Amino acid sequence: MTDPKEIIAARIAQELQDGDVVNLGIGIPTLVANFLPPGVNIIIQSENGIMGMGPAPSPENINPNIINAGGQPVTIQPGAMFFDSAVSFGIIRGGHVDVTVLGALEVDKKGNIANWIIPGKMVPGMGGAMDLAAGAKKVIVAMIHSQNGKPKILEQCTLPYTALGVVDMIVTEMGVMEVTPEGLLLTELHPGYTKEQVQEATGVQLICSPDLK
């Protein structure tokens, strides 16, 4: 596996536990559905009104009426259900989502996330990002480590916040970081990278775990 986005998605899939209700955000997070561990029963919720979403369909099995929140064709698992946005956001805001996987423009050492707007650029709106960040029991950020050589993991976010102090884990193509009261703890290196390379690409001092994998 060499695609950085697939590396990120496959690693995040390992975090999901049997019976979890999981919401996958737009972008890299949607790929997580393609790497679920065999034998682990995950219930994937899509904010546009699906409970029991499956992985991406093969080209010959695309149903244009079954799409995720990003408008991409998806499959559904046996027993899946469809509902309106009011029910969907009631599930999210009611604390019934165990894990949400979100993309991000920036994350900082306090677990703050900015992922909905770059000032001056047109966007359709925040979507469900704020509700998911605040309502899910665990928030995992899935993103490419830097943008055009500019760090996205920072001392403090520079873009407008989506939510404050909500991020539990950051997974990039370079490694895995956990948000702790002391700062960002580097717990894993992905193959092909050193801790020095990860630090150089990061805009805040990382704490190296003594059990770094």
Which positions are catalytic?
47
Q: How many residues comprise the chain?
A: 213
Distance between the two ends of the chain, CA-based, in angstroms?
19
For the chain, helix, strand, coil in percent to 5 are: 20, 30, 50
Pairs from 144-148 (Cβ < 8 Å, separation ≥ 24): 144/4, 144/5, 144/8, 144/28, 144/172, 144/173, 145/172, 145/173, 145/174, 145/198, 145/201, 145/202, 146/201
